[in-house]
Structure formats: C-alpha cells, structure tokens
Amino acid sequence: AALAWVSAATPSPAGDAAPAKQKAMLTVTSLTPQPSEWPVALAANGGIFAWQEAVIGSELSGLRLAEVGVNVGDCVHAGQVLARFDAATVAADVEQKDAALEEARSALGEAQSTVERARPLSANGLVSAQQMTQYLTAERSAKARVASAQATLKSARVRLAQTEVRAPDDGVISSRSATLGSVAPQGQELFKLIRKNRLEWRAEVPGGDLRLVKPGQAVTLTVAGGVALSGKVRMVGPTLDPATRNALVYVDLPPSTDAQAGLFARGQFEIGRSPALTVAQSAVVMRDGYGYVFRIVAGDRVSQTKVTLGRRIGDRIEVLDGVDAHSVLVDQGAGFLADGDVVQVAQPPAQSAQPAQLAQLSPGKR
C-alpha cells in the first residue's frame, strides 16, 4: 500500500513538459509594401476615324467614264489623275469656241482699221461726226465680242480639264464608287479620300473628368490584337452628349499600318504622377469581392487584413489602406492561408524592378 501511495504521489515526467509548439501550416515568403511614384492615367474608349475624309465627285454630267486609275487602299498625291471621262465632245466644243474667238478677233481687227482710216478724214471734215460715231461703236462692239469669246473658250477649257478627276490632296483612297463605262450625273460621288492618311481617335470621356485632359497630353492606345499606339490630344470637345454626358476628345495618331478607320480602341491619358504604396499581386487574396492580405504577427502567426486596392501596373498593385510601409506580409502562399494560421517564413526572392507602364485611374479615386 505504501508503494502504491508513492507511485501515485510522484508526478509524471510528461506532466512537467511544456506544451509542444504548433506545427506550421505552410512555408511562405514575405515582403513589405514598397513606396513608389507611379504615373496616373485616365482610361477611355472610343473609335478610330479619318481626320478628314474628302468626297471626290463628278463635276460634269452626261459623259461616259472611260478610265479608272485607282482602287481602295491606294496612296495618291495631290493632283494625281484618279479617273478620266470621255472628252471627245468637250474637246470638239473647245475647238469650236477657239474658232469663234479667232472670228471675233478678225472682226475687231477690221473695225480698228476702219477707225484708224476714218480719224484723219474726220479731222478734215470728209467724214461726218455721225459716221465716225458708228465706226467707234462698231469697234467697241467687236472688242466686247472678243472678250465674250475668250470667256466662252475659257469655260470650255475648264470643262475639258474637268474630264480628268484629280486628287485634291495627298492621302489614301477609302471608298470607290466609280464604275468604268458608267455615265455619272453632275455631283455624283466617285471616291473618298482620307487626307494625309491621317487618323484620329475620338475618345468618350465623362464630363467630370474633362478637367484632367489638356491639349498636347500623351495618350497610349491599344487596338485589336493588342497592338499599342501612341498619340497626342489635339482638341477637347466643347459640348457633352445630352444622353451619355460624355464629351469627345480628339487624339491625333501617327501614320501606321496597325490602325485603320473604324477600329475600336482603348486608351489612357497620361495626367500626372502620384505616390503609391504597392505590393506584388501574389500577396493579395480576393475573397467575396474584397481584397485581403496576411500580415505576419507574433513571429510566425498570420492575421488576415482587409485592404482597399487602387491602381495596377504589371504584377504590382497599389494598396490604399489597411497596411503601411512597415508591415510584413505573406507573398507566395497567401491563397492557402486562413486567419490565425501558423507559417514558416522562408527567405524571400529578390524584388523585381518596377514596370514602367501607366497606372489606370480607378473610378472614385480621381
């Protein structure tokens, strides 16, 4: 019985040992938010249009189109012949008007000779004043007929020149309705020309953001296929659309084979720079529509912290609140953790260089 009492009164070695340390759930890497200066951009959408599209039409009527020298997509120069009408009847009319001018000039020469011969006779009283007046009137009438014939001939030559349809400016043919052999009425459209091959992006910007856009600002566009283009703001539209409350901002684009009129493009206006506290996107976990990070506290335990997110550039994201520059956050492995988990922190990899892209201005943070 004494042995049993001693055995019961002696404490167990296992009862004196400290509680075992909780095993780490995951090995993770850590990071600290990085303060930096990020460019700010205003995002917008819009279409690409021709800067100016000239309509080239027929100036004559009743003539057959005898030749068409260009097609859609052809680059042309100012004064280049695009099409020709059959000029036979117009050329014959020019010859007729030229002959009429020669006839009028001959009549003028005869009237002038008559006046020259009559002047000395009139001075000697051999020709009456009435007769001399008739000679002078005939001379003036002959001069008027010459002037009229010259004007008529000039008009006929203009018509002859109009049988050749010429480009009014350098550019690219964007549309062709001219058909060989057709008889086009006066004023009918034959071609459309994008002047200077110059395009513009017409961005739709909310009225509340127009104060951020100024002529001369740089713009980066992305068109179909992910092709990036650059441009500059030429003009801000003076009025808003009453239905959408958006204004058009006109952005000049450089000549490029990557952009065509009619394409849709997304763009960003560079409106300045601002400080940003950024982390790698791998450190942010999205749950129920909100962003969270895991702060490492008490050495090896994590605390789930809700954060407000801002701009994104490459693989980094701006954190607006919830952490500061001294916080230690879980980087790789954050998606597998829960609040209060114990982790083992491994040596973090070297920080990558900050990307030099534009940060998009999030709605409500402007």
Same domain flag for 57 and 189:
yes
Same domain flag for 332 and 342:
yes
> Of 271, 290, 322, at which residue does a domain stop?
271
> What is the CATH number for 184?
2.40.50.100
Same domain flag for 356 and 286:
yes
Of 18-32, 164-178, 263-277, 346-360, where does mean pLDDT reach its minimum? Answer: 346-360
Of 41-55, 110-124, 151-165, 347-361, where does mean pLDDT reach its minimum? Answer: 347-361
Same domain flag for 232 and 156:
no
> What is the CATH number for 294?
2.40.420.20
3 band by pLDDT with thresholds 50, 70 and 90: very low
Task: Enumerate residues 6+ apart whose C-beta is below 8 A from 28.
Answer: 330, 331, 332, 333, 334, 337, 343, 344, 345, 346
The pLDDT score that the predictor gives to residue 350 is 52
Of 236-250, 263-277, 315-329, 338-352, where does mean pLDDT reach its minimum? Answer: 338-352
Same domain flag for 264 and 226:
yes
Residue 8 maps to a domain:
no
Residue 127 maps to a domain:
yes
Same domain flag for 174 and 71:
yes
Same domain flag for 136 and 106:
yes
Residue 15 maps to a domain:
no
**pLDDT tens column, 38-61:** 888 889 999 999 999 999 999 999
Residue 228 maps to a domain:
yes
Residue 220 maps to a domain:
yes
Same domain flag for 339 and 351:
yes
Check whether 108 has a pLDDT greater than 70. yes
Residue 190 maps to a domain:
yes
The overall pTM is greater than 0.95: no
Same domain flag for 156 and 177:
no
> What is the CATH number for 200?
2.40.30.170
Residue 12 maps to a domain:
no
* 277, 288 Cβ separation under 8 angstroms: no
Residue 20 maps to a domain:
no
Same domain flag for 224 and 266:
yes
Residue bearing the bigger pLDDT, 151 or 9: 151
Q: Residue 356 to residues 46, 227, 309, 316, 353: CA-CA distances in angstroms? A: 24, 17, 19, 11, 9
Same domain flag for 235 and 347:
no
Boundaries of domain holding 67: 53-79+169-195
Strand partners, 272: 40
111-136 exposure pattern, b = at least 16 Cβ within 10 A, e = fewer: beebbeebeeebeeeebeeeebeebe
Same domain flag for 138 and 243:
no
Our count of domains for the chain comes to 4
